[in-house]
């Protein structure tokens, strides 16, 4: 394109835009044009009102009526009824008959098809309801016959579990766990009718069919197996077969089908699965139970990790990786959907129930899970799953790994046992010992007592070593003070440190000797902190005044809400927690009294007394079994401390220090490096002094 052409195009554009600007209507012209439009609209509205008064109403077209007849003719003879959107229609002698309910008004079919009406507004709403119902049946095509039916519940059960299947959607509508109870009901209903629903969405190239909209036909195959079936056009069948595994909390769910290639093309290789559940509340202490509820899921593969949504509040996640299972979990019970193959991706949403709503007292979280499942319309069983509907009991969950021979299901990770180190202590030591003690004792308060004593016996060498180290440091405190007085200046810091370390070496003391044994005990303390609140064996077990070792042992309770305090402390006082706090303060007094006072940190003792009070606030809502364990552990520690003081006197410690001082000491590498650093510092100081003199 040359220069002249560009100039020509530019001039043409200027002319066009200039012409458009000159022809732009004025504001008066625009106002007149709008007045004319409004006038025409007013005339049309008046004509419509006159037509209404004259009785002119909306009507169903001939094609609409023919389509309604076609839908009913293709339904099974024993269930040929349209029942949707308040529309109830049947065929009688080849003619449509029925009613349409609009609000509180029921309109007979003859009135719906009439071209006039005494009440045009209601008549038109009835016609619109029929058109909506017809649209729904048209969208569901070959599945339309299953849109109408009566909901029934079919139960299958074993010694552990009872599940009730609903013909509406073909889902597990209610699950009842035998042998467990809540604080106010004799049995744990994991979820009730209306609280748990899931739906598969099948699709062809133009339509989507959601199974939650259909009424299934139940077939009791045997005592433990029920088939929820849809009989479709052309001899096609689609259904969900449920089998309750004997003596377990597992329910096998298989997607079964015949001749589905007539309805679903082979190029469709995925079906959507949407699962919604309101996680029910089962414990009296809602605050702690809610903090242990949410969506858990495991990524597919041998090394797949178990993750979860936030348990402290609302959360949403969108996952692209394949999943092996997904779960709606609360503190002690879970609903887990385990795929035989994989779930290709997922969208997860968890929302806490809001205070002040009717659902707040009975539910913990509202969870929604959307995922996709591999599918093929030519396979008799295109997809299969296991539903685990049961307690979060460690050995039971561990035993279900047999249902997935190719990879570890890691269902035990539904139980929060802490980080890897703490989890290893719990699964490798605490749980086996706890279960072993359970073989000989039935009272879990006594089991905790014996478990605590065994732990303290195992840790007693560390406790003894810590006490001896503290005693040595207490005896050496005057000597250390003299060294500090002798070398007060900053330039003598290395010399002071060398003398101090030499004193420790001669006495056989280690300034970290009292801390290291205590640090080695910390993992066990943290492991127990995660073990007791998650231990379902303690649920409902009483001991002394505690009615339930898995819940707070309330001795004082109030109903009012105290701002800030109630959110952390709760509206009660737990006795075991209070005893633990008093014992902790007593132990703090013992330890601070035996230690030399420190002028450099005068507020340390105050802080040490504040810690037990902070624990009182923190542990008041925790399981009474945990507070009971810490209370017993502190009592035993106090007894051990007094025993050490009784049998390990100061004279014996001084004799040990003197014996260590008499032994020939080999200079350590660290001490040699310290002396070398001191020499270098002295040489540097000498050079600086010489430089100043010059």
Q: What is the mean pLDDT of residues 323-327?
A: 94
Burial 71-86 (b: 16+ CB within 10 A, else e): bbeebeeeebbbbbbb
pLDDT of residue 600: 45
pLDDT, one tens digit per residue, over 492-547 is 666 666 666 766 666 666 665 555 556 667 888 888 888 988 899 999 888 999 88
Helix, strand, coil tally for the chain in percent (to 5): 45, 25, 30
pLDDT of residue 13: 60
pLDDT of residue 145: 79
Average pLDDT, the chain: 80
Q: What is the mean pLDDT of residues 52-56?
A: 50
Residue with the bigger pLDDT between 149 and 488: it is 149
Q: What is the mean pLDDT of residues 206-211?
A: 88
CA distance 504 to 500: 6
Report the candidate in 196, 172, 168, 159 with the shortest Cα–Cα distance to residue 386: 172
Q: What is the mean pLDDT of residues 190-214?
A: 91
- DSSP readout, 581-612? HHHHHHHHHHHHHHSPP-SS-TTHHHHHHHHH
Contact 266, 378 (CB under 8 A): yes
pLDDT band at 53 (very low <50, low <70, confident <90, very high): very low
Q: Could you identify the residue written with the tokens 């009526």?
A: 65
pLDDT, one tens digit per residue, over 575-630 is 998 999 899 888 888 777 665 554 444 556 677 777 778 878 878 888 889 999 99
CA distance 242 to 170: 10
pLDDT, one tens digit per residue, over 427-474 is 999 999 999 998 889 899 999 999 999 988 888 777 777 776 766 666
Could you tell me the pTM of the whole model?
A: 0.76
pLDDT of residue 163: 95
Write out 304-363 in H/E/C secondary structure. Answer: CCEEECCCCCCEEEEECCCEEEEEEECCCEEEEEEEEEEECCEEEEEEECCCCCCCCCCE
How many C-beta atoms lie closer than 10 Å to residue 286's C-beta? 16
How many C-beta atoms lie closer than 10 Å to residue 131's C-beta? 16
pLDDT of residue 82: 79
pLDDT of residue 121: 84
Q: Could you identify the residue written with the tokens 């003619």?
A: 95
Q: What is the mean pLDDT of residues 249-278?
A: 93
pLDDT, one tens digit per residue, over 17-44 is 555 555 555 666 556 666 666 665 555 5
Q: What percent of the chain has pLDDT over 90?
A: 31
Indicate the domain borders of the chain.
Answer: 62-147, 153-416, 444-661, 670-694
pLDDT of residue 147: 84
Angle between helices 624-647 and 515-534 (to 10 degrees): 150
pLDDT exceeds 50 at position 54? no
pLDDT band at 311 (very low <50, low <70, confident <90, very high): confident
Range with the poorest average pLDDT among 179-183, 377-381, 579-583, 678-682 = 678-682
What sign does the dihedral 494-496-500-505 (CA atoms) show?
positive
Pick the CATH number of 153-416 from 2.70.98.90, 2.120.10.30, 3.20.20.70, 2.40.50.320: 2.70.98.90
Contact 227, 241 (CB under 8 A): yes
Q: What is the mean pLDDT of residues 114-132?
A: 83
Pairing between strand 153-157 and 161-166? antiparallel
Report residue 646 as tokens.
Answer: 């009784």
CA distance 230 to 255: 12
Side-chain half-sphere CA neighbours of 25 within 13 A: 8
CB within 8 Å of 205: residues ≥ 6 apart: 265
pLDDT of residue 327: 95
pLDDT of residue 603: 57
pLDDT of residue 602: 54
Contact 509, 472 (CB under 8 A): yes
CA distance 208 to 201: 6
């Amino acid at each position: 394109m040359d220069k002249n052409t560009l100039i020509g195009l530019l001039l043409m554009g200027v002319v066009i835009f200039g012409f458009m600007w000159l022809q732009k209507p004025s504001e008066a012209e625009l106002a007149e044009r709008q007045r004319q439009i409004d006038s025409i609209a007013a005339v049309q509205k008046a004509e419509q009102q006159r037509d209404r008064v004259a009785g002119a109403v909306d009507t169903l077209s001939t094609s609409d009526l023919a389509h309604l007849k076609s839908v009913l003719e293709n339904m099974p003879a024993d269930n040929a009824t349209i029942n949707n959107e308040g529309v109830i229609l049947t065929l009688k002698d080849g003619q449509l008959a029925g009613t349409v309910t609009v609000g509180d008004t029921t309109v007979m079919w003859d009135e719906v098809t009439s071209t006039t009406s005494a009440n045009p507004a209601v008549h038109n709403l009835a016609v619109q309801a029929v058109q909506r119902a017809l649209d729904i049946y048209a969208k569901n095509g070959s599945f339309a016959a299953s849109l109408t039916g009566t909901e029934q519940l079919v139960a299958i059960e074993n010694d552990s579990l009872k599940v009730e299947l609903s013909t509406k959607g073909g889902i597990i509508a209610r699950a009842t766990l035998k042998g467990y109870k809540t604080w106010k009901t004799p049995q744990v209903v994991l979820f009730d009718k209306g609280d748990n629903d899931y739906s598969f969405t099948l699709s062809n190239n133009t339509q989507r069919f959601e199974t939650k909209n259909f009424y299934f036909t139940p077939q009791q195959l045997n005592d433990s197996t029920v088939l929820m079936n849809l009989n479709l056009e052309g001899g096609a069948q689609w259904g969900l077969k449920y089998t309750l595994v004997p003596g377990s909390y597992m329910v096998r769910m298989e997607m079964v089908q015949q001749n589905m290639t007539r309805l679903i093309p082979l190029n469709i290789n995925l079906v959507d699965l949407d699962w919604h559940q309101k996680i029910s509340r089962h414990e009296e202490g809602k605050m702690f139970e809610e903090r242990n509820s949410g969506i858990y899921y495991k990524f597919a593969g041998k090394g797949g990790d178990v993750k979860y949504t936030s348990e402290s509040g609302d959360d949403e996640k969108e996952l692209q990786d394949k999943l092996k299972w997904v779960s709606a979990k609360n503190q002690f019970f879970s609903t887990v959907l385990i795929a035989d193959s994989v779930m290709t991706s997922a969208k997860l949403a968890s929302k806490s129930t809001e205070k002040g709503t009717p659902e707040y007292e009975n539910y913990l979280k509202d969870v929604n899970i959307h995922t996709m499942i591999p599918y093929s319309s030519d396979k008799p069983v295109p997809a299969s799953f296991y539903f685990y509907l049961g307690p979060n009991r460690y050995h039971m969950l561990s035993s279900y790994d047999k249902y997935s021979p190719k990879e570890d299901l890691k269902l035990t990770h539904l139980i929060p046992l802490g980080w890897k180190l703490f989890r290893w202590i719990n699964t490798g030591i605490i749980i086996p010992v706890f279960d072993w003690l359970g073989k000989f004792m039935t009272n879990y308060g006594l089991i905790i007592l014996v478990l605590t004593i065994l732990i303290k016996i195992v840790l007693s060498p560390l406790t003894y070593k810590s006490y001896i180290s503290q005693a040595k440091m207490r005896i050496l405190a005057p000597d250390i003070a003299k060294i500090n007085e002798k070398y007060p200046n900053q330039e003598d810091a290395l010399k002071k440190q060398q003398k101090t370390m030499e004193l420790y070496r001669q006495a056989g003391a280690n300034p970290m000797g009292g801390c290291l044994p205590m640090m080695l005990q910390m993992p066990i303390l943290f492991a127990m902190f995660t073990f007791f609140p998650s231990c379902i064996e303690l649920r409902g077990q009483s001991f002394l005044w505690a009615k339930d070792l898995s819940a707070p042992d309330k001795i004082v309770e109030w109903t009012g809400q105290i701002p800030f305090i109630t959110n952390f402390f709760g509206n009660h006082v737990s006795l075991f927690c209070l005893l633990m706090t008093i014992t902790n303060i007593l132990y703090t007094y013992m330890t601070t009294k035996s230690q030399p006072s420190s002028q450099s940190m005068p507020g340390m003792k105050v802080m040490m007394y504040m810690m037990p009070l902070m624990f009182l606030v923190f542990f008041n809502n925790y399981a009474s079994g945990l507070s009971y364990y810490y209370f017993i552990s502190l009592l035993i520690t106090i007894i051990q401390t007094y025993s050490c003081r009784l049998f390990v006197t100061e004279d014996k410690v001084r004799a040990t220090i003197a014996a260590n001082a008499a032994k020939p000491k080999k200079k350590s590498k660290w001490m040699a490096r310290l002396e070398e650093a001191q020499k270098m510092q002295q040489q540097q100081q000498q050079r600086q002094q010489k430089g100043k003199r010059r």
